[in-house]
Amino acid sequence: MGMREDVEFLAVLVHRGHVLKDAAERIFPELQRGQVLDDLLEQHVGFSAEHVAKLRRTRGGEIPEIPGYQILGRAGTGGTADVFRARDLKTQRILALKVLNHASTLNAKTREAFIAEARLLEKLRHPGLVAGHGVAKYKNLYFTRLDYIDGHTLLELLDRGKAFDESAALRAVLEVAETLAYLGSQNVVHRDVKPGNIMLTNDGRIKLIDLGFAGRPDQAPSDSETTVGTVAYLSPEQARGGAAGDARSDIYSLGVTLFHLVVGRLPFEGSDDREVLRMQIMQSLSSPELKSRGLSHHVHYFIEKMMAKELEARYQSFAELIEDIRTQLEGKQSLDFEHDARSRRRAGPAR
C-alpha cells in the first residue's frame, strides 16, 4: 500500500468511528515519515493484526463479510440499506444482497420494517417485481436476498438528462400499473411510487422496487408517522396526513411520475417539504410545458385524470387506467374526453 492509499484508509477508519480523531492525529506524522499504517494501528489504537486485516478487506466495514457469499461490489445505496452484488458460493448464482446499515439496525422500528418488507416480497411473484428470497442475519448484520437486476432507476436516467418521449413514458407507466394491479390483487398498496423506485433493466424491462412503505389498503399510518412515502409524489389525501391510501393514491403518485418523465421536472416544487405538501393539497395542476412540448391530448388527459385532487374524479382502479393507456399505445383513438369532462363538471370543481 502506498502512503496516499494509507492516508485515505485512515480517513475512512476515522469517518466510520473505528479510530478516534486524536489517535489519527498522532498516527499521521509517523505515517508521513514512512511508518507502516498497520503497525501504527496496533501501537496507537491496540488493534490486532487480524483486526487490521479485516478492516482492510471490508474497507472499514463498508463491505460486508457474510459466510457463503462473495461480495462482488456495491450496486446501490439508500437511506436505510446498501445493496451489494454477490455470488452465492453454493449455487454460483449472482444475487443482490440488501444489507441494513448500522444506524438503521439500531432502530427497532426501521429494523422491523426491513424484515417485514423482505417477508412480504418473498410471498409475491410477478414479472414487474424483483423476486425476494428471504431475510437472514449474520452476527449484527440483517440482509435480504434478491434477484440481481442489471439496470438503472428512472430517476437516475432523468438525473443524467435522459429524455423520455411520450410512448416510452406511457409504456413504463403501463408496466408499473400492471404490477401495481397485481399488488392490489394481493391486498397490497405500494405507497411510494416514484421514478427512484422504478428500474429500467438493461434488456428493456420495467421493475418496481422498494416495498418499504407497502401495506394493506385499510392500514393507516401510525400516530408518529402521519404521512408515508416521498413528499413530492404523495396524493392530496396522503399529504393531509393520517390517510391509509388505497389504489387511487398509488394512481396519483404514478401520475406525478408520468408528469416527471415527460416534462423533466416535478409538478409541485417548493422551498421545503411543507410547502410541497400545501401545494399538493391546495394548488391546481398547471404546467406550460405540457402544452409547449407538443404532447398529445391523451397524455394531458392521463396526467389530469391520474392527478385529480378529488378521489372521485381520479381513475378508480388500475384496470381502468391500464385499459386506457393500452388503447392509446395500440393506436386507437377511443378515449371519451367529452364524457369525462362532463362527469368532472357534475362532480364540481377540483380543490
CB 74 within 8 A of CB 59: no
Q: Is the Cβ–Cβ distance between 232 and 266 less than 8 Å?
A: yes
The percent helix, strand, coil of the chain (3-state, each to 5) is 50, 15, 40
Residue 115 class from Cβ within 10 Å (0-12 exposed, 13-18 middle, 19+ buried)?
middle
Map residue 299 onto helix, strand or coil. helix
User: In the structure grid, which three cell numbers stand for residue 176, read together?
Assistant: 408499473
| Active-site pick, 6, 82, 192, 250 | 192
Q: Tell me which residue of 255, 252, 336 sits closest to 297, measured CA to CA.
A: 336
Alpha-carbon torsion angle 210, 248, 174, 229, nearest 10: -20
In the residue annotation, 324 being an active-site residue is answered as no
Distance CA 268, CA 254 (A): 14
Q: Report the C-alpha gap between 200 and 164 in whole angstroms.
A: 12
Residues noted as catalytic: 192
